[in-house]
Chain A
Amino acid sequence: MSSTEHTAETHVHRDDIGSRMGMWLFLFTELILFGGMFLIYSVYRFEYPEAFHLAAKELNTIMGAFNTAVLLTSSMTMALSIVAIQRNQKILSIWLQMITIFLALFFLVNKYFEWTAKFHHGIYPGSEELLSKGSGEILFFGLYYVMTGLHGIHVIVGMVLIGVMTRMTRKDIITKDSYVRLENAGLYWHLVDIIWIFLFPLFYLIT
């Protein structure tokens, strides 16, 4: 094993640090994308504190907390899959990646039920029910749908990305000696997690 490691080190030219740095730079653009939305959110919450308070009561805190737990757990399994590949435990790493994808899917299914429940109550962008409310509440739900929706798209992208990584791990493209792709997919996934860490209290926990 040490000989393969040696050849890998001496013959393959690559820059893993540069690769991760590139991924971080991309993540900063994501930070600005969501940061802009958090800016809009904070201004409107500042302007309509009561309406936000009232509107947030419509959201299911238990469901939100449960989904937070699901996403946090998926972040852990993703991090563990990297440890597994570092220790050359290929099968374990693949399993952990698949659990991550499954948890992401579970998160989206919950989100689907949450959204459809809101739709049934007539609360969706442009609905009569919503338009009859005050501007603060309309803004709250507008931001809710846009921000959790954009986050949801990121979850889907993350699932696809991790799926590709699983395939690469299976085909030995990602190995004990070359796993920077998996690390970068992980970085993306953890960012999606961090965004939810802030979305959750700001939408579900306004008392």
Chain B
Amino acid sequence: MEKHDYYHEHSHGYGIYILVWLALMTLTAVTVAVAGMDIDRFTVATALIIASVKAYLVLTIFMHLRSETRNFTVFVIVALLFLGISFVLLFSDYSFH
């Protein structure tokens, strides 16, 4: 029952999803444009940063993380943290070979 109240308060209208979609499309155009500019060193970093912003928008708005209870956010952060740890450990090991 609590869930119902909480849902009706937080459920979004159509507008926000269309807005987020526009943002995602714009970011896609930006990432393609940046890749075309050939600034070598920065391209991977820029591409990954833009991809992360897009993923953040999808997670918070499309996947409703923003309107879920905090537990969900904590879970996602922990999951991503473990993936991050895998990357850090792998590369710290790999660098010393």
Binding site for B on A (CB under 8 A): 9, 16-17, 20-21, 24-25, 28, 31-32, 35-36, 39, 42-43, 46, 61, 65, 68-69, 72-73, 75-76, 78-80, 83, 86, 183, 186-187, 190-191, 193-194, 197-198, 200-202, 205-207
Contact = CB atoms under 8 A, between A and B. Distances in A.
A194 B25 contact: no
Contacts of B90: 39, 43
Contacts of B62: 75-76, 78-79, 186, 190, 193
A116 to B, nearest CB: 24
Contacts of B3: 16-17
Interface in B56-71: 58-59, 61-64, 68-69, 71
Chain B CB count within 10 A is highest, among A42, A69, A197, for A197
- SS class, residues of chain B in contact with chain A: helix
26 contacts: A21-B72, A24-B72, A24-B75, A28-B79, A31-B83, A35-B86, A39-B86, A43-B90, A46-B91, A69-B28, A72-B21, A75-B62, A76-B18, A76-B21, A78-B62, A79-B62, A80-B18, A190-B58, A193-B58, A194-B55, A200-B28, A201-B48, A201-B51, A205-B47, A206-B44, A207-B36
B96 interface: no
